[in-house]
Structure 1
Amino acid sequence: MFRWLRVLPWLFLCLSLPRAAFGAEEPLISAPWAALMEARTGQFLYSKNAHAERPPASTTKILTAVLALELGRLDAEVTVSKYAATTPGASIDLVAGTTWRLGDLIKGALMNSGNDATVAIAEHLAGSEETFAWMMNRKSRLIGAYRSHFVNPNGLPADNHYSTAYDLAVMSRYALQHPVFRRIVATREDEINGSPDQKRLLYNTNRLLTSYPGADGVKTGTTEEAGQCLVASATREGRQLIAVVLRSWDRYEDASRLLDYGFNAFHLELVQAGQRVGTIYVPNGRPQELPVVSSSDVAWTVPVEDMEGLEKRVLLPRAVKAPVRKGQVVGTIQLLYRGEEVASAPLVAAREIQAESWLSRFLKGPN
C-alpha cells in the first residue's frame, strides 16, 4: 500500500498533461533537479534546476572511481581496514584484513555501490577519507564541476557534501572517456576475488542497463535525504547522451524520458577526425590531387526542427604547391549555427605529395 502512495503523485502528473508533452516538446519528469547532456560536445540539451546544490548520494562514487583509475594501479593490492569494513549502508561485505585488487574494489563501488569499497580505496590512495575528500574537491574543480563539495568517497549523508545535476553530468562525461570506467559501468554482472579465499558476485544496481536500448551506464544513488538519484548514459548510432535525475519518484522512467527526448528531438552534426572532406589541386605534384581530412572531431547538436540553421563550411585554397607533408594544415572546417561559429577544426593533408621533377615537367610540355 505504501509503495502505491509514493507512486500516486507521479501518476497524477502523467495523466494530467496532454500527450504532446511526451513528443518533441520538453519531457515531463518527476525529478525536481535534472539535466541532459550530449556527451561528445558537452552541450546541455535540457536543464531543470541543474545548478541547485543537492545531496548526491552514491553518484559520488563516479568521482571516487575517477581518482582511483587515474592515481592507482588496477593490480595494486589493498588491505581492508576495520574502519573500511564497518562502513554503514550499501556494502560488498568486505572483511577486515582481507586483500583485494584495486580494480576489483572499483568494480564493487561502481556496480554494487559498496560504501566499504570506497573507503578502502580512499585509505589506499590517500591514507584517510579526509585527505581523499580534499583530492576529490580539487579534481572536481579541475574537471569543471565548480558547485560540488565532498567530505567522503561514497555519498553517505554528511554536512557540506553536495553536488548538482550539472556537475554530475560534467563529471560523468569526463569519467566515460576512461575505457576501464566505461567498461565497468556498462557491465551487468561480474565476479571479484580477494585473499584469503574471498569471492563476491556483483550485480549492477542500474536497472536501466536491462530495460533501455543502448544504455551503458552510469551510477545509481539513494539515501533518505537525497531520494532516488541516477546518472544514466546511453549510446545509439554513435551518439552518447548523459541524463541526471535527483530525488526522482521514478528515476528509471525519468531518465528514459530524458534520453528519448535527446535522441528524438535533437540532431548531432558530426565530422569525425580523419574523415575526408575534399581535395586540392597540386599542379606540380605527383599525384596532382591531395585528399584533405579533418584533424579532429567537429560536432554540434541542434534541435531537429531547426536543422536549417546549421551550416557546414569547408575553407580550402584552390591549389597548393608541392611538396606537401602528411598532416600539413591546408584549410579549416567550420560549423555555424544561426550564423555564429560553434565548432571548427584545421583541415590537413591526408598524404604526402612530392614535387614533380623539372625533367618530368619539361617532357610533359605545357598543359
Structure 2
Amino acid sequence: MSAASALVMDANTGQVLFARNAHQPRPIASTTKIMTALVAIECGKLYRLATVSPHAAGVEGSSVYLTAGEKLTLEELIYGALMHSGNDACVAIAEHVAGREEVFVNFMNYKAHRLGARNTNFCNTNGLPHDRHLSSAYDLALITRYALKNPVFSRIVATKTHSIAGAKGKRILSNTNKMLWSYQGADGVKTGTTHAAGKCLVSSATRDGRRLIAVVLHSDDRWGESIRLLNYGIEEYANRVVAGKGEAFAAVTIENGVKRSLPVTVDRDVVVTVPVNQGDKIEQNVLLEREVAAPVVPGQEVGKLEVLVEGERVAAAKLITMEGTAELPYHRLLWRQLYSKL
C-alpha cells in the first residue's frame, strides 16, 4: 500500500478493521469539506439565500465559479462544496453562516474536539495548504461516521450529478468521487488533492446493511487502495448482535419487592464487528447489582455490559429493568420474613 496513512472502519460499530499510521497528523486537502458541510448543515438553514462576496468569489483553486453578488441557497452551496469541491462555495458558506470564515473555522474545530478528533486542527474551510491545517485518517473516519448519520449530508455525498443555480443558467455538477460509478454500494464521501496532501480519499460503501468507511491519505492509487480496504472490511469481517434492546438479557434479584426478580435488558442494541474466519472472539463482562431494593421503576439502571473482541473493549451498554415493582406492604414483608425462617 502506497498511502502514507490508511484506515477502514465499520460505520455501525465504529471499530477499526485495518489501520496504518492512522493517528498521524497530515495535510488533508479538500477532505476538509466534510466538516465544513457538517457544520453548515447543523448550524444553518438550508433554504436561506446566501449572497456571494467578492472575497468568496475570488478564492483560488477548485471552484464552482461563483460571481460576486449572486445568490444561492445554503444547500446549493453545500452541493457545490461536497460534489465539485468548490473552494469558493466553502468560503461563501462560512460567511453566510458565521459572518467571517475565521469564526466558522472555530465552529469546525469545536465540533472536531467534541467528536474526539484529537489530531485535527482546521485553519480554513476548504483545505488549501496551511502548515497547521492537519488531521489524521482516524479523525477523518470519526468525523465522517458522525456526518453520515445526518440524512442531508448522506444524501449529498451519494449524489452523482446535480444542478444548482448559476449567474448565467444552471451549473451542472458531477461528483469528483469516481467510486460512486465504479464500486458496488459506494455512497460517499469526498476527494482531496494538493501537493502537500497528495491524493486523498474518504470513501464509504454499504452492502447487506453494513456501512464501511475507508480513508487513504497521500496515496499513489487512491481508488484502487480504497477498493481494497473496503473489500477487506466486507469480506473478512461481519457484524454480530450481542444483545438487543427490549430483549431479556439477564435478571436481577429484588429486595423487599412484590416481585422477587425482574428481567433486565440493554438500553441499546449492542452490535460488534468480528473476523469471519477466526471464530467469535467475543467476551462479555456483565456487571449487575447483586440485589436491588424495591421500589423499582421500568428502565432503572442496574448494571453495565462490556463487550471485548480479541481482548479489546469495543462496545458497552447500560443494563436496565424491563419492568417495575412496588415495595411489599409491611404486613406482607413480615409474613415473608417469618415464612423464610420456617
TM range (shorter): 0.7 to 0.9
Could you list the per-position Cα deviations for residues 248-286 of structure 1 after superposition, in whole angstroms to 9, with x for gaps in the alignment?
A: 12211110100111122223223475352458699x999
Corresponding residue for residue 331 of structure 2: none
Residues 293 and 170 of structure 1: CA distance in aligned 2, closer, same or farther (over 3 Å): same
2:241 to 266, 270, 274: 270
Whether 1:227 aligns to 2:198 is yes
Distance in 2 separating the partners of 1:53 and 1:316? 41
Counting only pairs closer than 5 Å after superposition, residues 241-260 of structure 1 correspond to structure 2 as 241-260=212-231
The Cα of 1:41 is off from its aligned counterpart by: 2.7
Runs ≥4 in structure 1, deviation > 6 angstroms? 279-282, 313-324, 351-355
Whether 1:205 aligns to 2:183 is no
The Cα of 1:44 is off from its aligned counterpart by: 1.8
Distance in 2 separating the partners of 1:269 and 1:105? 40
Secondary structure of the residue aligned to 1:276 is coil
Letter matched to residue 241 of structure 2: L
Distance in 2 separating the partners of 1:249 and 1:168? 19
Gaps of 5+ in 2: 328-342
Residues 97 and 342 of structure 1: CA distance in aligned 2, closer, same or farther (over 3 Å): closer
CA contact (8 A) 1:294 1:345 kept: yes
Question: Is 107-116 or 38-47 further displaced after alignment?
Answer: 38-47
Corresponding residue for residue 174 of structure 1: 146
The Cα of 1:166 is off from its aligned counterpart by: 1.8
Distance in 1 separating the partners of 2:243 and 2:74? 35
CA contact (8 A) 2:34 2:190 kept: yes
Residues 319 and 153 of structure 1: CA distance in aligned 2, closer, same or farther (over 3 Å): closer
Corresponding residue for residue 21 of structure 1: none
Secondary structure of the residue aligned to 2:279 is helix
Distance in 1 separating the partners of 2:244 and 2:15? 19
Secondary structure of the residue aligned to 2:34 is helix
Residues 312 and 235 of structure 1: CA distance in aligned 2, closer, same or farther (over 3 Å): farther
CA contact (8 A) 1:292 1:349 kept: yes
Residues 342 and 120 of structure 1: CA distance in aligned 2, closer, same or farther (over 3 Å): closer
Corresponding residue for residue 136 of structure 1: 108
Whether 1:80 aligns to 2:52 is yes
Secondary structure of the residue aligned to 1:97 is coil
Gaps of 5+ in 1: 1-28, 356-367
The Cα of 1:291 is off from its aligned counterpart by: 7.2
Corresponding residue for residue 157 of structure 1: 129
Question: Is 251-260 or 47-56 further displaced after alignment?
Answer: 47-56
> TM-score when scaled to structure 1?
0.77
Corresponding residue for residue 39 of structure 1: 11
Distance in 2 separating the partners of 1:338 and 1:157? 40
Residues 253 and 348 of structure 1: CA distance in aligned 2, closer, same or farther (over 3 Å): same
Distance in 1 separating the partners of 2:258 and 2:162? 57
Distance in 2 separating the partners of 1:256 and 1:141? 30
Corresponding residue for residue 80 of structure 2: 108
Corresponding residue for residue 362 of structure 1: none
Distance in 2 separating the partners of 1:277 and 1:235? 30
The Cα of 1:134 is off from its aligned counterpart by: 2.9
Distance in 1 separating the partners of 2:108 and 2:281? 41
Distance in 1 separating the partners of 2:122 and 2:302? 47
Could you list the per-position Cα deviations for residues 226-253 of structure 1 after superposition, in whole angstroms to 9, with x for gaps in the alignment?
A: 2211001112222221111012122111
Question: Is 236-245 or 318-327 further displaced after alignment?
Answer: 318-327
Distance in 2 separating the partners of 1:46 and 1:78? 41
Question: Is 235-244 or 341-350 further displaced after alignment?
Answer: 341-350
Could you list the per-position Cα deviations for residues 100-149 of structure 1 after superposition, in whole angstroms to 9, with x for gaps in the alignment?
A: 11111111111111111101011112222223223322322222122222
Distance in 2 separating the partners of 1:333 and 1:143? 23
Counting only pairs closer than 5 Å after superposition, residues 351-366 of structure 1 correspond to structure 2 as none
Q: CA RMSD in A?
A: 3.4
Secondary structure of the residue aligned to 2:232 is helix
Letter matched to residue 252 of structure 1: W
Distance in 1 separating the partners of 2:168 and 2:323? 56
Could you list the per-position Cα deviations for residues 71-115 of structure 1 after superposition, in whole angstroms to 9, with x for gaps in the alignment?
A: 111112110011111222221121211111111111111111111
Counting matched residue pairs gives: 332
CA contact (8 A) 1:280 1:317 kept: no
